[in-house]
């Protein structure tokens, strides 16, 4: 193999160190290394352990981007270490790289974290096919390619936790199930063989699970090493909730539906009207902020609500194109 195109660069790695059995607080250790353009992040973790400190701990297994064990964060970005090229990291962040576990607050030893919360949430969505299977079937349960396509690659998830520990909603709300669990739920909701669709959807819809608490930041889509695109699956679950008649009236569902009503009436969104429609009597809690905004000329009165030109076109399209009912 030709090595003529391999380049080398000096990189300073600032590496998170913590041993829950010995350390009161975590600390960072510096390791300066010559990094070649063909190495992946996992090679660096190996070299830290093999060449610098045998006590350095991390998870690794397949080295083929399949097992999901070696996910960590580089400069705050969730990364599957065995898949991510060092050249990409250096191009993105330069030659000062901070290596940390996926979740500092869940660190057990160096890069190893307690993923208990991840698995609890994974389990909570019943991540398996639920179907009354004939014990003596006369033929296979055929799934057509078109039906398999409906999974939209949600079955490619390797449960690495990259999206879970990158999710800002989960970071501040530990009741939120998180993008990985929702993507997995979609994988079974979209499976034509699954017979627990409404039951699972009802659980996802409950406020405790918080499917409506996704902040829509697309961080999960950005970090997923397998292009599962969890936020796309969360959106699809929202749509399923309405389509299957599982959605009940709450602030979040009224907020989504309110857009249609507002657009039908004005073309544009009536911001104040939407808050009223979504919150109902709960709107009173917004009064202090609304008064401040009013004083600054940021609230439009209903009689001055702007409307789109050619509103009749919009109304006609809503009437003929809308498929959702709630």
Running DSSP on this structure, what letter comes out for residue 79?
Answer: E
3-state DSSP assignment of residue 322: coil
Residue keyed to tokens 């907020």: 255
- Exposure b/e, 245-265, CB count within 10 A at least 16 = b: ebbeeeebbbebbbeeebbeb
Which residue, 62 or 289, has its beta carbon nearer to another protein? 289
Residue keyed to tokens 């949600």: 154
Q: Examine residue 217 and tell whether it contacts another protein (CB under 8 A).
A: yes
Q: Examine residue 212 and tell whether it contacts another protein (CB under 8 A).
A: yes
Q: How far apart are the first and last CA of the chain?
A: 62
Distance CA 254, CA 271 (A): 13
As a whole number of angstroms, the longest Cα–Cα distance in the chain is: 75
**Hey, which residues between 265 and 294 contact another protein (CB under 8 A)?**
267-269, 271-272, 275, 278-279, 288-289, 292-293
Which residue, 168 or 245, has its beta carbon nearer to another protein? 168
**Hey, which residues between 224 and 253 contact another protein (CB under 8 A)?**
229, 235, 238-239, 242, 250-253
Q: Examine residue 173 and tell whether it contacts another protein (CB under 8 A).
A: yes
* Nearest distance in Å: CB 5, another protein: 23
Distance CA 270, CA 268 (A): 6
Cα torsion 147, 148, 153, 155 to 10°: value is: 120
Distance CA 126, CA 204 (A): 11
Q: Examine residue 262 and tell whether it contacts another protein (CB under 8 A).
A: yes
Which residue, 119 or 326, has its beta carbon nearer to another protein? 326
Cross-strand partners of 14: 30, 98
**Hey, which residues between 81 and 140 contact another protein (CB under 8 A)?**
92-93
Among candidate residues 159, 168, 171, 238, the one with its CA nearest the CA of residue 205: 238
Which residue, 173 or 206, has its beta carbon nearer to another protein? 173
| List 40, 102, 169, 201, residue binding another protein (CB under 8 A) | 169
* Nearest distance in Å: CB 53, another protein: 27
Binding site for another protein (CB under 8 A): 75-77, 92-93, 168-169, 172-173, 176, 210, 212-219, 221-222, 229, 235, 238-239, 242, 250-253, 255-257, 259-260, 262-263, 267-269, 271-272, 275, 278-279, 288-289, 292-293, 296-300, 306, 308-310, 313-314, 316-318, 320-324, 326
């Amino acid at each position: 193999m030709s090595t003529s195109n391999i380049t080398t660069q000096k990189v300073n790695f600032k590496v998170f160190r913590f041993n829950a059995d010995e350390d009161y607080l975590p600390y960072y250790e510096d390791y300066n290394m010559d990094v070649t353009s063909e190495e992946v992040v996992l090679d660096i973790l190996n070299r830290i352990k093999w060449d610098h400190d045998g006590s350095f701990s991390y998870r690794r297994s397949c080295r083929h981007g399949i097992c999901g064990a070696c996910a960590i964060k580089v400069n705050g970005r969730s990364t599957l270490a065995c898949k991510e090229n060092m050249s990409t990291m250096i191009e993105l962040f330069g030659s000062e790289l901070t290596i940390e576990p996926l979740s500092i607050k869940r660190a057990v030893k160096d890069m190893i974290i307690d993923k208990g919360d991840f698995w609890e949430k994974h389990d909570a969505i019943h991540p398996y096919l639920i179907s009354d299977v004939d014990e003596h079937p006369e033929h296979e349960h055929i799934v057509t390619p078109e039906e398999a396509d409906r999974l939209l690659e949600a079955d490619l998830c390797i449960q690495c936790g990259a999206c879970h520990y990158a999710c800002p909603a989960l970071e501040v709300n530990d009741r939120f199930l998180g993008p990985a669990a929702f993507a997995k739920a979609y994988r079974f909701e979209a499976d034509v063989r699954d017979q627990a669709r409404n039951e699972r959807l009802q659980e996802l819809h409950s406020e405790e699970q918080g499917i409506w608490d996704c902040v829509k930041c697309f961080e999960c889509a950005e970090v997923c090493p397998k292009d599962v695109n969890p936020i796309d699956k969360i959106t699809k679950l929202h749509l399923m909730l309405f389509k299957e008649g599982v959605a009940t009236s709450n602030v979040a569902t009224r907020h989504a539906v309110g857009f249609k009503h507002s657009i039908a009436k004005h073309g544009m969104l009536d911001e104040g009207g939407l808050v009223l429609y979504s919150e109902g009597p709960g709107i009173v809690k917004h009064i202090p902020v609304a008064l401040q905004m009013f004083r600054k000329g940021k609230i439009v009165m209903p009689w001055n609500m702007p409307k789109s030109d050619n509103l009749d076109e919009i109304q006609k399209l809503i009437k003929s194109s809308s498929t959702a009912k709630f």
